[in-house]
Amino acid sequence: MTFETLTIDGAPAVRLQGPHGDSVTALLRGGQVISWIDASGTERLYCSPLSPLAGPQAVRGGVPVIFPQFSGRGPLMRHGFARTRDWALADTPAGAAHPTLVMRMEHSAAETALWAHDCVCTLAVALEAAGLRITLAVHNTGSSALSFHAALHTYLEVGDVTQATLTGVLPQGEVLSLAEPIDHLFESVPGPFALRSPASALDMAHEGFTDAVVWNPGPQAVIADLPAGGYARFLCVEAASVGVPVQLAPGAHWQGCQYLVTAA
């Protein structure tokens, strides 16, 4: 296992190399994973080449951390502030079973009257033998209760979304076709999910999160930081807690994880 800090297109980043030729790269801004290369040497995430990594806007791709607000469902900036905040590198917990990189973001009540709470968010990204495990933890360090949305807004490389299918979000094993644009919150879906596409086969599971959001804007959407035809390259399958916000008493912890496993 090797670990390095680096700068990519002007953005401070960290890279962890696993024992099987796998690696994961994350930006400290947003605590955002932007690349996961699996043990076969294949990039599994999509990151738009038109999205400046150094910001100031959110980076379109990889795994944006959505916290404490999903989309426009509240008074904060779209998808909350975590994805554009500077995170710091933190120590890996002693005895971690897998190569893991940990980043941390503190928020204080003084930072915005729109969300006047104290909390600490931690993102642990682990290269496991079968795949990537990303765990978002929130610790309420303040004296008032927290209510928040959280999501890992994962952009998965699919090659051609119109030929991709997703199993696990619809009832009774029904297969969701991605031939058409989609922006849907699937509430209370325990998973697992199976994504099959021309670029890759991936199985996914989540714990702690209750919902899944599936998003692809389709060819008609005008998105300035996506290249022409870029929509076809990815499907966002987000592990999310949105339908019922997470409630966290003072001093309490919450965590949710998304586990991405390479399939044959």
The yes or no reply on residue 55 touching ligand BG6 (CB under 6 A) is no
Q: Which is nearer to ligand BG6, 11 or 212 (CB)?
A: 212
The site string for ligand BG6 over 168-207 (x = CB under 6 A, - otherwise) reads ---------------x------------------------
Sites for ligand BG6 among residues 81-100 (CB under 6 A): none
Least distance CB 187 / ligand BG6 (angstroms): 13
The yes or no reply on residue 71 touching ligand BG6 (CB under 6 A) is yes
Least distance CB 154 / ligand BG6 (angstroms): 10
Least distance CB 139 / ligand BG6 (angstroms): 24
Q: Which of 26, 47, 213, 239 binds ligand BG6 (CB under 6 A)?
A: 213
User: 3-state DSSP call for residue 20?
Assistant: coil
The yes or no reply on residue 153 touching ligand BG6 (CB under 6 A) is yes
Give which of 118, 150, 105, 135 is closest to 251, Cα–Cα.
Answer: 118
Sheet holding 23-27, edge to edge: 2-8, 11-17, 23-27, 32-37
List strand residue ranges (DSSP E) for the chain, in order: 2-8, 11-17, 23-27, 32-37, 65-66, 88-90, 100-107, 119-127, 131-140, 146-152, 155-157, 165-167, 175-177, 182-186, 193-196, 201-207, 211-216, 234-248, 253-262
Q: Which stretches of the chain bind ligand BG6, using CB under 6 A?
A: 58, 71, 78-79, 153, 183, 213, 215, 238
